[in-house]
A and B are shown apart, each in its own frame.
Chain A
C-alpha cells in the first residue's frame, strides 16, 4: 500500500456461488479522492462496491484500509464488531433507493441521530441540535425535522440519506447510483451539494454510476467496468475525452447530446 493511500484493493474477486461477479480488481483510493465506477448494468459495479465495504465477502484478494486507530488493516481480518464500527462511523453508504438507506417510519431527525445514538449519544437536546444543523447543511427546511422521510420528495430523501451518513464525519463514503432516481434539475442541485460537501469535508468517495455526466462532474478518476473486470482507468477527463478501450469508446459515444 502506498504510504498516503486510504484504501488499497488487491486482486479482489467476488462471486455469487460459482458465478464470478468481479475479477481481480486492483486500485488505490487516496484521501479526498472521488473515484467513479462506470459500466453497463450487470458489469459488477454494485457488487464491487459491496465487496469493498465487505458487506459482501470477497471470494479472493483483499482490501487494505488505513484505519484511524489501527493503521493499515486487511478488512477480511477484522471481526464483525470492528467492521460494523467502520460501517457506522468512518464510512457512509448511500443507496440508490432511499428506502434502502433510510428508516422510512422514523422521523428525519431520528434518521440523522441513529448513528450518534449507536455511538452512545444519550442526550435528546444535543441530538436535535445536530439534526437541525445537518438538515441545514443538506438544504432541507429544519422545520421538517419531525416529519417522516416518506413525506419527502425523492431529492430530499437522497439529501437526508447524505446527512444521515455524514453526521459522524466519515472519511470514506460509498455511493450506489445516488442520482439515478432523480429528475435532471433535482439531480443538478444534488450534485452541486455533493460536490460542495465532498470538498469541504475532504471525503473520499467511491461512486457507482452509469451516467457519464455525473462521473465527469464529480469524479477525479474513473474506472470502466465490463463483465466484472476493469477495462480502462485513468483521470476522468482523460478517459472520457480520449477513450482507449473499444467498450469505453462505445460508452462515450452512446451519450445523447441534448
Chain B
C-alpha cells in the first residue's frame, strides 16, 4: 500500500480538500476557470502537474486508473504517471477505456465512448483561451465576466484570411453551456465533438497556471465558427493500417528510409482491441 512518510495518493489531505473545493466550484460553473493553490509535484511543469493534482485529489482506493499521452498508453509520460499512482495510491491500473473509472489524459479523448460514472482528467498547459489575444489577466477576467468573446472570432477570421479556412487544428476554442469560452487543452479538434453532452465528468487541471475547470456530464460544448465557415473535424483518405478503422484519429508514421508511410490509430488501446476482435488493416 502506501509507503512510510507518504499520504495516500501523494498529496496531503488538506491540499486534496482544497483542490476538491475548487473542483466543486468548477463543476458548478461549467467552463469557468477556478484558481487553486497548485503544489510542487515530483515532475516538471508541462508534464502534467495540473492533471496529476486533480487525479490525486479525487482518486479513491477502488478506482481503476488509465493514463494516456497522445492517445497512447505506453509513452514515457503515461507510463510514469500510471506507475506513480500505482505506487502512491496502490490503485489498480488498466489500459482499457471501458474498465477505467478514472482516466488522465494528455492531448486526446479516447475513441471508445466514455460512459456515465467515468471521470476524465485533462492536463492543461495554458487554460486561458484569450491569452494570445489579450495578455492582461485583469482584462481577460473582465472579458469572461461580461461574456465578451468577439475577440476569439477575430482570431478565427485571421485564420481564414491567411489559410482560406479555420486553420486551428488543436486546442480549438469552445463555448461551454452557452456561457464560458474554454480551451479544451491541446486535444485535436477531432475530439471536440466528443466533449459535447458527454456522459462522463470532464475535469481540467493546469498546474503552472494554477487553474482548474470542468465540463459536467451532459453539458453542451460548442466549437466556435462562422456561419459560412462551419466547424469541421479532420478527415483522412486512409483507414488505420493496422486495424482498418476509418472513424479514428490517425497518426502518420514514416516506416523506412524510402519514405513509406503508415497511418495508424493514435488511440493504441482502441486499435489493439479492434485487432483482437479480428479487424485488420491493409498494412503489409
Contacts and interface: CB of A to CB of B under 8 A. Distances in A.
Physical interaction between A and B: yes
Interface of A: 80-81, 84, 103, 106-107, 109-110, 113-115, 117-120, 122-125, 127, 146
8 closest A-B pairs by CB? A118-B150, A117-B150, A117-B153, A124-B226, A123-B227, A146-B161, A81-B146, A110-B157
Contacts of A113: 154, 157
Nearest to B146: A81
B227 A117 contact: no
Contacts of A81: 146
A124 B154 contact: no
A94 B162 CA distance: 27
Contacts of B160: 124
Contact of B154 (A117, A123, A146): A117
Chain B interface size band reads: 10 to 19
A119 B158 contact: no
B150 A124 contact: no
Interface string B5-45: 00000000000000000000000000000000000000000
13 contacts: A80-B142, A80-B146, A106-B158, A107-B158, A109-B157, A110-B161, A114-B150, A114-B151, A118-B148, A118-B150, A122-B227, A123-B227, A124-B227
Contacts of B229: 124
A115 B146 CA distance: 15
B256 interface: no
B228 A125 contact: yes
Contact of B153 (A103, A122, A125): A122
B226 A114 contact: no
Interface in B140-180: 142, 145-146, 148, 150-151, 153-154, 157-158, 160-162
A101 to B, nearest CB: 15
Given A123-B226, A124-B229, 13 more contacts: A84-B148, A103-B154, A109-B157, A110-B157, A110-B158, A117-B150, A117-B151, A117-B154, A118-B148, A118-B151, A122-B153, A127-B157, A146-B161
Interface string B211-239: 00000000000000111110000000000
A146 B145 CA distance: 32
B66 to A, nearest CB: 38
By DSSP majority rule, is chain B's interface helix, strand, loop, or mixed?
A: helix
Contacts of A106: 154, 158
Contacts of B146: 80-81, 84
A45 B148 CA distance: 30
B75 to A, nearest CB: 35
Given A107-B158, A109-B157, A113-B157, A119 B150 contact: yes
Interface in B190-206: none
A80 B143 CA distance: 11
B151 to A, nearest CB: 7
Contact of A114 (B142, B154, B161, B225): B154
Contact of B161 (A107, A119, A120, A122): A107
Most chain B CB within 10 A, of A103, A110, A118, A124, is at: A124
A239 to B, nearest CB: 40
A80 B148 CA distance: 11
Given A80-B146, A84-B146, A109 B226 contact: no
A119 B151 CA distance: 11
Contacts of A127: 157
A86 to B, nearest CB: 13
Contacts of B157: 109-110, 113, 117, 124, 127
A109 B154 CA distance: 10
A93 to B, nearest CB: 16
B228 A123 contact: yes
Most chain A CB within 10 A, of B142, B158, B162, B227, is at: B158
Nearest to A120: B150
B158 A124 contact: no
Interface string B37-78: 000000000000000000000000000000000000000000
